[in-house]
Amino acid sequence: GQNTIMVGNSPRSDINPALEAGWWAVYLKRELIWELESEQLPASGKLFMIEDLNEIIRIAGKIRG
């Protein structure tokens, strides 16, 4: 739906498929990532990048308006 949010640390399996489906996506940045999950993240107004899961509350508030 229009307010669906995918939160994940894999561009390939989590973030890019969510954006392609029209969902919001929150990329949890990590220093290490499995090579097979590495993929470019597209420029998107529906993509947020965070380093701490506590930021999800702030993001959800922005999405809900």
The whole-number pLDDT of residue 63 equals 85
The whole-number pLDDT of residue 36 equals 72
Residue with tokens 């929150």: 26
11-62 confidence digits (pLDDT tens): 999 999 999 999 999 999 877 666 777 788 889 999 999 999 999 999 988 8
The whole-number pLDDT of residue 1 equals 62
The whole-number pLDDT of residue 65 equals 64
**Sign, CA torsion 43/18/28/51:** positive
The whole-number pLDDT of residue 14 equals 93
